[in-house]
Chains A and B, each alone.
Chain A
Amino acid sequence: MPFSKLDTAAVARTLSQIAEQPEDVVDAFFERREEVELQEPGALRVWREEGFAVRLAREGRTWLATRDAVEPKPFAEALRQAARVLPSATYPEPMLEVAPPGPIAAPELLDFPGVLSRAVRAHHVGFPLRVAVRRHRRWVQVVGPRWVPAAESETFYSCSAESSWGRYGALLPRLDAAAAADIAEAVVALFRARQAHPPAPFHGPAVLAPAAVAVLLHEAVAHALEADTLAQGGNPEAAVGVAMAASCLDVLDDPAAAPEGVRRTTDDEGTPVVRRWLLRGGVVEQPLADALWALTSPVLLPGAGRRGTRHLPPGPRSSHLEILPGEAGEADLFAGSDEGLFLPEASRGALDPLSGEFVLHLPMARRFRRGALAGTVGPCVLRGRVADLLTRVVAVGNEVKPAGAGWCAKGGLKLPVWATAPALRLEGVEIAP
């Protein structure tokens, strides 16, 4: 842990000098990040950064001062910049000792392209694939004037596989044969759909695989229930109690249940995370809030503050979405005589927070009829309004799997997000080329 020798008590004492009013939110956020990328053939890129941010928030206004080093003098300067004391005071320079970074090595990356290549060949296909694999590590220490939570760390991997007919990207808690098999399946599906035509405008049933469900609910539930997004349309606490989805849908955000390696006990503001019911029985129960939004209403609970970088203030975001399983088996999901579309993956989604209009981009899909999968169709788009679309969920699969991990880039905060989801069946959805 790079911050184990940090004199957090001294930092806390110094911070207490700029917290003048009882409602002031003051903290120091220390982080070290490291990323190692291997891109075939043989391109190695490593970067490492560390620094801190000092924040003072008061009555809706936030002052943030950041530096690219963890050193006493810059820390005292940053305190002075964040503080609202006039004339500017001089602050003591706390001892800030951090463990020096060791040599960067990630031998586990070297084998993965080969493992992936073999996993693709196991599908009896072969095509050129440009693979880039990265290891992401992050260590975080938050210090407040009156509390010092334990340091947190995250390690995960990302992989992108690019071929002539599309790019597939994934976040992975581990680099192992199972991860390679999942990526291989996705890129082979793209390969097999390479000449498939987009479907004609379609209105009917759709079954979303767990990976597509995760993207759908990240956009349509998690983003829609972030306190700052809700505030664009009015008072965030007014959302509580609104029936937003079909009653069979239970959606939680639980950073403590995320995959090992990215599991958190506190958020990026040092607040303990909570197992948060976003939707219980389709009804909004607890929007996502950080420390500042929680100050605005007793209904909002903090614990979902996330920072994409120390250079930007935190915001309320989901970390690990959990969609609870239902009772539908695979046969139930694909039942019925109407032709439907099976959507195995979503490449991206977007939500307009004011209109509630929602778009899910699908790189390919498969038709199904009377319980059986049929032909493949090319890229298409699922559109709808959140309030309407989520009420169209008629069945929830009985098997959940880790799915839909990806990067979220809302508001310039690039964050990894994780999910555990079952498949869903929706009726009467609109899908167009």
Chain B
Amino acid sequence: MSRTALLDEVLRALLRRHLTDAEVYVKRGRSRRLERTPVTETASISQERAWAVRAGNRRGSFFAAATGDLTPGEPWPEPIAGQSLELPEPAEVPAWTVPSDFDTPLIGEREGLRLLESLGRELENELPGARTLRAALEDGSSEAELANSRGLRASTRHRIATLYIEAAGPGSPAPTASLYVATREPRRFHPTALARRLADRLAVSASGAAPERDSGEFLLAPIVVAHLLAGILPLLVGPGPGARLLGARGRFGSDRVTLIDNGRLPGGASESPVDGEGVATREVVLVEDGIFRQPLLAWWQEGAADGEPSGCTRRAGWRDLPLPGPTHLYLKPELRTSVASLLGSVAQGYYLIDVTGPGRFDLAADRFSLPVCGFAVQSGRASAPVAGSLLSGAIGAFLKGVVGVGRDLTFHPLDGMIGSPTVLAIGLELLGGGSA
């Protein structure tokens, strides 16, 4: 039986049980995982085969998922009264070409281990005495098919590679730092650039100090802004809450702030023509030149807030319920502005290069604090390392205080892929008390 015929047969079997609304999702995937520590080396290869079914009627519903092959005669659970199931109608999906790198083979064992080895070497070159404590590379690809009782049919493919590195610097006690990055194809990881980023962070952590309390101009590296954007996602996803930060005439940020989510971003790590429910993805401008246009809305949230819905429902895995969230949410870069020119424009302030721990975001009180490290800057030049500090302020003030945006857009795997270029902001404070 073909996969499509199987999905139809399962839908019919569910209908025979009076489960009039149903969705069937099947997924196959494969991944290679390579890990190195100073004393161990691990190479894993996994093959995944799983399915998920949501089914219900007006009275109740269930979500069931399992590994192995789906059969129409599965022992379905009894729906629990309370929540009915709503499913999207079929709609036209704009043409999309499968990117060529979806078909490249998974990274080989030796190639992957060499990449991890070279990261260690590069780190040692950048900062003598530094060492990797743990480096893990994962490369995976998957295909999925989806069918629902409304007649929607969709197929998706994904390809993603992630790299996690923990490193220690020289000295005692040794400073530590970690980074986690994602891309579609692991051969795009650049060991020298990653090692440099870790070495900068380790060097700053080892020698930096926190100011008592200071303000000024803040040049924020893409990773710092990405964490800030991830912290305010509840304001941008779903109906309602975004209005909380609106100032006069719907202003959400300075006119340098344009926020976009795009599930089919070309080259994006999660690029796909449809979302986890088979709804077409598209570019949605959430904030344009500082003006709040609309929140990110799933199809079932249409009408709950101004704005057009888009395919923004994600499945974290086959075990998970599809939920709305950003796919590639990013601050639009200004292509003519280099990071060097932004740094050169800082008379007195800080260049914050990395995040050193989880942030705190109190959206109701409009406050945030984020542990960071970087450099103090005087007249466009780094004057002293800074570590153990908290970047702090009002969320609204941060967005409205953006005075410059660079061109170096980079994405980080946070809650979805969150992207930003380097940003120059005012109206924030740097306090002591963050983790080094």
> Does B168 lie at the interface of the complex (its beta carbon under 8 Å from any beta carbon of A)?
yes
A-binding segment of B56-64, B274-282, B293-301: B56-64
> Does A339 lie at the interface of the complex (its beta carbon under 8 Å from any beta carbon of B)?
no
> Does A311 lie at the interface of the complex (its beta carbon under 8 Å from any beta carbon of B)?
yes
Q: How far is the CB of B206 from chain A (nearest CB, A)?
A: 11
Per-residue CB contact flags for chain B residues 167-208 toward chain A (1 = under 8 Å, else 0) read 010000110100000000000000000000000000000000
Are B77 and A68 in contact, CB atoms less than 8 angstroms apart?
no
Given the known interface contacts A46-B65, A47-B66, A50-B67, the answer about A68 and B82 at a Cβ–Cβ threshold of 8 Å is: no
Are B49 and A45 in contact, CB atoms less than 8 angstroms apart?
no
Are A61 and B42 in contact, CB atoms less than 8 angstroms apart?
yes
Are A231 and B60 in contact, CB atoms less than 8 angstroms apart?
no
Are B37 and A228 in contact, CB atoms less than 8 angstroms apart?
yes
Of the four ranges (under 10, 10 to 19, 20 to 34, 35 or more), the interface on chain B belongs to: 35 or more
Determine the distance from Cα of A62 to Cα of B68 in the docked complex, in whole angstroms.
26
Q: How far is the CB of A91 from chain B (nearest CB, A)?
A: 16
Partner of B173, one of A101, A312, A355: A355
Are B67 and A64 in contact, CB atoms less than 8 angstroms apart?
no
Are A42 and B63 in contact, CB atoms less than 8 angstroms apart?
no
Per-residue CB contact flags for chain A residues 16-49 toward chain B (1 = under 8 Å, else 0) read 0000000000000000000010101111111111
Given the known interface contacts A352-B176, A354-B173, A354-B176, the answer about A46 and B44 at a Cβ–Cβ threshold of 8 Å is: no
> Does B321 lie at the interface of the complex (its beta carbon under 8 Å from any beta carbon of A)?
yes
Are B45 and A104 in contact, CB atoms less than 8 angstroms apart?
no
Given the known interface contacts A232-B133, A355-B174, the answer about A42 and B42 at a Cβ–Cβ threshold of 8 Å is: no
Are B80 and A42 in contact, CB atoms less than 8 angstroms apart?
yes
Are A42 and B65 in contact, CB atoms less than 8 angstroms apart?
no
Given the known interface contacts A43-B83, A64-B42, the answer about A48 and B173 at a Cβ–Cβ threshold of 8 Å is: no
> Does A356 lie at the interface of the complex (its beta carbon under 8 Å from any beta carbon of B)?
yes
> Does B6 lie at the interface of the complex (its beta carbon under 8 Å from any beta carbon of A)?
no
Partner of A44, one of B38, B45, B80, B134: B80
Q: How far is the CB of A113 from chain B (nearest CB, A)?
A: 11
> Does B104 lie at the interface of the complex (its beta carbon under 8 Å from any beta carbon of A)?
no
> Does A242 lie at the interface of the complex (its beta carbon under 8 Å from any beta carbon of B)?
no
Are B174 and A354 in contact, CB atoms less than 8 angstroms apart?
yes
Are B80 and A104 in contact, CB atoms less than 8 angstroms apart?
no
Residues of A within 8 Å of B176, CB to CB, are: 352, 354-355
Q: How far is the CB of B128 from chain A (nearest CB, A)?
A: 18
Are B168 and A354 in contact, CB atoms less than 8 angstroms apart?
yes
A71-128 contacts to B, CB under 8 A, are: 74, 81, 101-105, 110
Are A66 and B62 in contact, CB atoms less than 8 angstroms apart?
no
Looking at A65, A228, A232, A311, the one whose CB has the most chain B CB atoms below 10 A away is: A232
Q: How far is the CB of B163 from chain A (nearest CB, A)?
A: 13
A210-264 contacts to B, CB under 8 A, are: 228, 231-232
Determine the distance from Cα of A48 to Cα of B319 in the docked complex, in whole angstroms.
9
Determine the distance from Cα of A40 to Cα of B65 in the docked complex, in whole angstroms.
20
Are A105 and B168 in contact, CB atoms less than 8 angstroms apart?
no
Per-residue CB contact flags for chain A residues 350-387 toward chain B (1 = under 8 Å, else 0) read 00101110000000000000000000000000000000
Residues of A within 8 Å of B80, CB to CB, are: 38, 42-44, 110
Partner of B45, one of A48, A60, A64, A232: A64
> Does B307 lie at the interface of the complex (its beta carbon under 8 Å from any beta carbon of A)?
no
Q: How far is the CB of B272 from chain A (nearest CB, A)?
A: 22
> Does A63 lie at the interface of the complex (its beta carbon under 8 Å from any beta carbon of B)?
yes
Partner of B82, one of A43, A66, A102, A356: A43
Determine the distance from Cα of A110 to Cα of B46 in the docked complex, in whole angstroms.
36
> Does A138 lie at the interface of the complex (its beta carbon under 8 Å from any beta carbon of B)?
no
Q: In the complex, which residue of chain A has the Cβ closest to the Cβ of B47?
A: A67
Interface of B is mostly: strand
> Does A282 lie at the interface of the complex (its beta carbon under 8 Å from any beta carbon of B)?
no
Are B44 and A312 in contact, CB atoms less than 8 angstroms apart?
yes
> Does B89 lie at the interface of the complex (its beta carbon under 8 Å from any beta carbon of A)?
no
Q: How far is the CB of A114 from chain B (nearest CB, A)?
A: 13
Are B43 and A45 in contact, CB atoms less than 8 angstroms apart?
no
Are A45 and B321 in contact, CB atoms less than 8 angstroms apart?
yes
Please tell me the number of chain A residues within 8 Å of chain B, measured between CB atoms.
45
Looking at B37, B60, B64, B68, the one whose CB has the most chain A CB atoms below 10 A away is: B68
> Does A177 lie at the interface of the complex (its beta carbon under 8 Å from any beta carbon of B)?
no
Residues of B within 8 Å of A41, CB to CB, are: 82-83
Given the known interface contacts A64-B45, A311-B44, the answer about A101 and B81 at a Cβ–Cβ threshold of 8 Å is: no
Determine the distance from Cα of A109 to Cα of B385 in the docked complex, in whole angstroms.
54
Q: How far is the CB of B34 from chain A (nearest CB, A)?
A: 11
Are A63 and B46 in contact, CB atoms less than 8 angstroms apart?
no
Are A105 and B41 in contact, CB atoms less than 8 angstroms apart?
no
> Does B39 lie at the interface of the complex (its beta carbon under 8 Å from any beta carbon of A)?
yes
> Does B50 lie at the interface of the complex (its beta carbon under 8 Å from any beta carbon of A)?
yes
Determine the distance from Cα of A312 to Cα of B43 in the docked complex, in whole angstroms.
10
Q: How far is the CB of B166 from chain A (nearest CB, A)?
A: 9
> Does A287 lie at the interface of the complex (its beta carbon under 8 Å from any beta carbon of B)?
no
Q: How far is the CB of A362 from chain B (nearest CB, A)?
A: 15
> Does B234 lie at the interface of the complex (its beta carbon under 8 Å from any beta carbon of A)?
no
Determine the distance from Cα of A40 to Cα of B48 in the docked complex, in whole angstroms.
31
> Does B78 lie at the interface of the complex (its beta carbon under 8 Å from any beta carbon of A)?
yes
Residues of A within 8 Å of B2, CB to CB, are: none
Q: In the complex, which residue of chain B has the Cβ closest to the Cβ of A50?
A: B67
Q: In the complex, which residue of chain B has the Cβ closest to the Cβ of A81?
A: B45
> Does B211 lie at the interface of the complex (its beta carbon under 8 Å from any beta carbon of A)?
no
Residues of A within 8 Å of B105, CB to CB, are: none
> Does B94 lie at the interface of the complex (its beta carbon under 8 Å from any beta carbon of A)?
no
B68-104 contacts to A, CB under 8 A, are: 68-69, 75-83
Are A42 and B83 in contact, CB atoms less than 8 angstroms apart?
yes
Partner of B49, one of A42, A68, A103: A68
Q: How far is the CB of A28 from chain B (nearest CB, A)?
A: 14
Are B63 and A313 in contact, CB atoms less than 8 angstroms apart?
no
> Does A51 lie at the interface of the complex (its beta carbon under 8 Å from any beta carbon of B)?
yes
Are A64 and B43 in contact, CB atoms less than 8 angstroms apart?
yes
Residues of A within 8 Å of B82, CB to CB, are: 40-43
Partner of A60, one of B40, B60, B75, B133: B40
> Does A1 lie at the interface of the complex (its beta carbon under 8 Å from any beta carbon of B)?
no
Are A45 and B50 in contact, CB atoms less than 8 angstroms apart?
no
> Does A331 lie at the interface of the complex (its beta carbon under 8 Å from any beta carbon of B)?
no
> Does A178 lie at the interface of the complex (its beta carbon under 8 Å from any beta carbon of B)?
no
Q: How far is the CB of A361 from chain B (nearest CB, A)?
A: 10
A256-303 contacts to B, CB under 8 A, are: 292
Q: In the complex, which residue of chain B has the Cβ closest to the Cβ of A69?
A: B68
Q: How far is the CB of A374 from chain B (nearest CB, A)?
A: 27
Besides A42-B81, A354-B173, A354-B174, 4 new A-B residue pairs in contact (Cβ under 8 A), listed by A number: A49-B50, A62-B41, A69-B49, A311-B46
A-B pairs, top 8 by smallest CB distance, nearest first, are: A42-B82, A68-B67, A64-B44, A103-B75, A355-B173, A49-B67, A44-B80, A47-B65
A sample of 25 cross-chain residue pairs with beta-carbon separation below 8 angstroms, ordered by A number, consists of A38-B80, A43-B61, A43-B63, A43-B83, A44-B79, A45-B64, A48-B67, A49-B66, A60-B39, A61-B43, A63-B42, A63-B44, A64-B43, A66-B46, A68-B49, A69-B68, A101-B75, A103-B77, A105-B78, A110-B80, A231-B39, A232-B38, A232-B168, A354-B173, A356-B173
Tell me the B residues contacting A by CB distance below 8 Å.
33, 37-50, 52, 60-69, 75-83, 133-134, 136, 168, 173-174, 176, 319, 321
Tell me the A residues contacting B by CB distance below 8 Å.
36, 38, 40-51, 60-69, 74, 81, 101-105, 110, 228, 231-232, 292, 311-313, 352, 354-356, 411-412
